[in-house]
Amino acid sequence: MIPGQDLTIKFAIRALKRRPWLVAGPLFFGVMGGLLYSRSQPSLYRSDAVVQVVPQRIPDTYVQSTVTARVEDRLSSIAQQVLSRTQLESVILEFDLYPDERRRFPMEDVFELMTERVNVAPLEGSTRGRQQAVDAFRISFDYERPEVARDVAARLAGFFIDQNVKERGSQADQTSAFLESQLADARSRLEAQEKKLETFRERNSGRLPTQTQTNMQAIQNTQMALQAMVESLARDRDRKLMLERLYTDAAADSPVVAPATGPVPSPAPAATDQASVLPGAPPRQRLEAARAALAQMEVRLSQKHPDVIRTKRLIDDLERQVATEEAQRPLSPDAASERPASQEELRRRDRLREMRAEIESLDRQIAFKESEESRLRNEIGAYQARLEAVPGIESEWIALTRDYDTLQDTYKQLLAKSENSKMAASLEQRQIGEQFRILDPPRVPVKPYSPNRMKINLLGTLAGLGLGLLLIGLAEYRDTTMRTESDLMGAMDLPVLGLLPYVQTEADGRRLRIRRRFLAAGVLGVAIATGTAFWVLELWKYVV
């Protein structure tokens, strides 16, 4: 290249006119090479199936699924299982894929070729939160025969669906079995803790912290009963003192005191209201009145009521008294001739007997009430002892109840989770949980997916053209011939004094014409050959 020469468009055009064969040759070989390469590559037809992720049909608020893994993670796991060597080898043998390759190469290489032609790609769907959720994914397979590509894609989609059902069902069953084992263990620990609590309650009955309020209420009620008993005992003692004084005075005023045949108690005032209205009446008449009073009491009182018991005791005493009087009646003339006692004396004697019987009844009541008072005081002491023992066992009770409450809460939570897992497993068995469904089944492809012959041919053409231009540039770089006035002035930097024109001879003209004819014929031949080869190969490839 001449120093100082400018690289302009005119310079490039002149260089291209001077050496057109440097472009025509590489361009021809580039086009032919692209055609031959694209023709040598087998046509691969792609068939794909779109599998939709159908969500659980029952809302999660009713039944919560135990399969909590994201669809993307489960899809990756299922893809690894479906695209495993064992699975793909069965597909290769079932559909008789790659027969030539299986004869020439080991099965490992055929498996690698199979995995390269299987593509699993998720389709981004609706937005859930801040992440894109996979609502569907595409399974595609490339093969030379379109029908086989369709069948293999359908089989792979079926593998995905079946594997998803098995994996979800297995995971739901494993979760349910695990929760069942945990629930059984929690139940055994809860029952053991209940045994400890039962033993502790039996050993410390009445002294538990939960019974503190009950014990305090019992102390209060017992104190009230004790106070009422003390007041009643004081009244009975006062009544007894008064009766003893009256009895002593009456006995001192009586000239004759009848021999006592036994204590004859009289009815208590509260129990024998009807019998006490006849203080001077004979014993038989009083007996009838006491029986009538007993009949009235039995209508409104129970058999264990103190008034009923005292009335029955009074009736027994009156019956004995009547029997004694009948036995003491004079049976002989000598006895009948004795002077009977006066009516006043008889009344005095009856009065003394009644007073004596009432005193004895009061003695029995006082003794009974004193024993009741002692019992009530002992009962109050027992309740107080229980209250005093509460702080000593409270810490152990708190520890036992805390562990029991914790185990009970754990058991309730495990029971709820176990029931939910059983329902989730039932959903998976009935296939109404989340599942895969073929949304777009695979079809027989019409046109090949690979190779892109137009692209290969275009790349070959561009490569040949680029190589030709590179050769022209290299030739011009090494050419130092000065052909114009500008070339000379740029190289020598001297003024031109004169120009001698080129005188073309007849031989030069003849050589130039021959060269042009050969160049035109070569260019035309390359163009025809290139066009013919291109159209023949392309039409043959697409039609056949």
Could you read off the pLDDT of 175-219 as tens digits, one per residue? 888 888 999 999 999 999 889 888 888 888 877 888 888 888 988
> Taking 70 as the threshold, does the pLDDT of residue 231 lie above it?
yes
What is the predicted pLDDT for the residue at 224?
92
Residues 16, 468: contact at Cβ < 8 Å? Answer: no
What is the predicted pLDDT for the residue at 185?
93
Average pLDDT over residues 134-163: 89
Beta bridge partners of 119: 140
For residue 95, give both structure tokens: 């559909």
For the ranges 48-52, 338-342, 347-351, the one whose mean pLDDT is highest: 48-52
> Taking 60 as the threshold, does the pLDDT of residue 259 lie above it?
no
Average pLDDT, the chain: 77
For the ranges 232-241, 465-474, 481-490, the one whose mean pLDDT is highest: 232-241
* CA distance readout (Å), 523 to 54, 89, 132: 64, 54, 58
The larger pLDDT score, comparing residue 129 to residue 31, is at 31
Quick one: CA dihedral 160, 164, 165, 166, positive or negative?
positive
Residue 293 — very low, low, confident or very high, per pLDDT cuts 50/70/90? confident
DSSP 280-297: TS-HHHHHHHHHHHHHHH
> Taking 90 as the threshold, does the pLDDT of residue 152 lie above it?
yes
> Taking 80 as the threshold, does the pLDDT of residue 20 lie above it?
no
313 vs 328: CA distance, rounded Å: 23
Residue 55 — very low, low, confident or very high, per pLDDT cuts 50/70/90? confident
What is the predicted pLDDT for the residue at 134?
63
> Taking 70 as the threshold, does the pLDDT of residue 337 lie above it?
no
Quick one: CA dihedral 449, 455, 457, 460, positive or negative?
negative
> Taking 50 as the threshold, does the pLDDT of residue 331 lie above it?
no
What is the predicted pLDDT for the residue at 532?
73
> Taking 80 as the threshold, does the pLDDT of residue 271 lie above it?
no
DSSP 303-335: TT-HHHHHHHHHHHHHHHHHHHHHHTS--SHHH
Report the greatest alpha carbon distance in the chain: 214
53 vs 425: CA distance, rounded Å: 19
pTM of the model: 0.50
What is the predicted pLDDT for the residue at 49?
92
Residue 54 — very low, low, confident or very high, per pLDDT cuts 50/70/90? confident
Range in 112-121, 306-315, 500-509 the model is least confident about:
500-509
Residues 309, 291: contact at Cβ < 8 Å? Answer: no
> Taking 60 as the threshold, does the pLDDT of residue 256 lie above it?
no
Using DSSP, state whether 152 is helix, strand or coil: helix
Please choose, from the candidates 78, 113, 77, the residue with its C-alpha nearest in 3D space to the C-alpha of residue 92.
Answer: 113
493 vs 482: CA distance, rounded Å: 13
What is the predicted pLDDT for the residue at 538?
58
Please choose, from the candidates 182, 174, 178, the residue with its C-alpha nearest in 3D space to the C-alpha of residue 428.
Answer: 174
CB atoms within 10 A of CB 347: 13
CB atoms within 10 A of CB 128: 10
The distance from CA 386 to its chain's CA centroid, rounded to whole angstroms, is 45
246 vs 352: CA distance, rounded Å: 9
Whether residue 451 has a cis bond before it, omega within 30° of 0: yes
What is the predicted pLDDT for the residue at 324?
77
Beta bridge partners of 47: 141
Burial of 73 (0-12, 13-18, 19+ CB in 10 A): exposed
The larger pLDDT score, comparing residue 348 to residue 88, is at 88
Range in 2-16, 26-40, 327-341 the model is least confident about:
327-341
> Taking 70 as the threshold, does the pLDDT of residue 18 lie above it?
yes
The larger pLDDT score, comparing residue 178 to residue 285, is at 178
118 vs 109: CA distance, rounded Å: 15
Beta bridge partners of 120: 139
Residues 487, 3: contact at Cβ < 8 Å? Answer: no
Please choose, from the candidates 353, 352, 359, the residue with its C-alpha nearest in 3D space to the C-alpha of residue 320.
Answer: 353
The larger pLDDT score, comparing residue 403 to residue 42, is at 403
Average pLDDT over residues 242-264: 59
CA dihedral 411, 416, 422, 428 (to 10 degrees): -140
> Taking 80 as the threshold, does the pLDDT of residue 343 lie above it?
no
What is the predicted pLDDT for the residue at 481?
65
> Taking 90 as the threshold, does the pLDDT of residue 238 lie above it?
no
65 vs 420: CA distance, rounded Å: 8
Do the bridges between strand 45-54 and strand 131-143 make them parallel or antiparallel, or are there none, so unpaired? antiparallel
Quick one: CA dihedral 287, 290, 296, 302, positive or negative?
negative
> Taking 50 as the threshold, does the pLDDT of residue 535 lie above it?
yes
The larger pLDDT score, comparing residue 234 to residue 39, is at 234
> Taking 60 as the threshold, does the pLDDT of residue 284 lie above it?
yes
> Taking 50 as the threshold, does the pLDDT of residue 265 lie above it?
no
CB under 8 A, 24+ apart: contacts of 18-21: 19/471, 19/472, 19/475, 20/519, 20/523, 21/519, 21/522
> Taking 70 as the threshold, does the pLDDT of residue 264 lie above it?
no
Average pLDDT over residues 94-112: 90
Residues 171, 66: contact at Cβ < 8 Å? Answer: yes
The larger pLDDT score, comparing residue 297 to residue 185, is at 185
Please choose, from the candidates 478, 495, 473, the residue with its C-alpha nearest in 3D space to the C-alpha of residue 2.
Answer: 478
Residue 121 DSSP label: E
Report the phi/psi class of residue 538: left, alpha or beta, with left for phi > 0 and alpha for psi in -120 to 50.
Answer: alpha
Residues 55, 434: contact at Cβ < 8 Å? Answer: yes
407 vs 419: CA distance, rounded Å: 18
